Structure 1
Amino acid sequence: MDIQLEKLNLIKWLTDIDEPSVIARFIALKNEQQQDWWDEIGEDERAEIDEGLAQADRGEVFSHEEVMAKYEKWRSK
């Protein structure tokens, strides 16, 4: 897929739309994309993420192989 060509095709298609409700839906989609997911999550979730980052900074991490070995019994189902 040529993304630039697809964008140009969308622009051309959009310029031909005369229905206000369709335009309003595109505006809503544009506004959704501008929102930061961090602002959408709760304080508890932010605290968990911050703790995970702090653990990583302290080197308290597991390799991919360690995690896969630990949960192998569930992977095989």
Structure 2
Amino acid sequence: MEINIQNAKIDLIQWLTTLEDSSIIKKIMELRNTENEDWWDKISDAEKESIELGLKDADNGNLKPHSEAKKIYGKWL
């Protein structure tokens, strides 16, 4: 069941207006501040290099069909 985003926002606003716990408000503010951070800046150099190698392989046409990937990685999906 998919959440109705507009109703969820209204529920959150109503809840926030009654909230007195400063630690929860602080956590919400921290979450809001991290929302704009780029995940690329948070991953390791090894992860970045691996992604860049994968993109280079894709650009060079070195790809496997979905059916083959599904056979290899199916047990984790």
Write the distance in 2 (CA, Å) between the matches of 1:3 and 1:56: 36
Partner of 2:22: 20
Quick one: percent identity of the two aligned structures?
A: 36
Q: In the TM superposition, what whole-angstrom CA distance separates every residue of 1:31-73 from its partner, at most 9, and x where no partner exists?
A: 222221100111111111111001101110011112234x38x
Partner of 2:38: 36
Write the distance in 1 (CA, Å) between the matches of 2:22 and 2:37: 23
Name the TM-score, length of structure 1 as normaliser.
0.80
Write the letter of the residue equivalent to 2:44: G
- Range that drifts further, 49-58 or 59-68: 59-68
Name the TM-score, length of structure 2 as normaliser.
0.80
RMSD, aligned α-carbons: 1.9
Unaligned runs of 5+ in 2: none
1:3 aligns with 2:5: yes
- Range that drifts further, 27-36 or 40-49: 27-36
Unaligned runs of 5+ in 1: none
Write the distance in 1 (CA, Å) between the matches of 2:35 and 2:70: 34
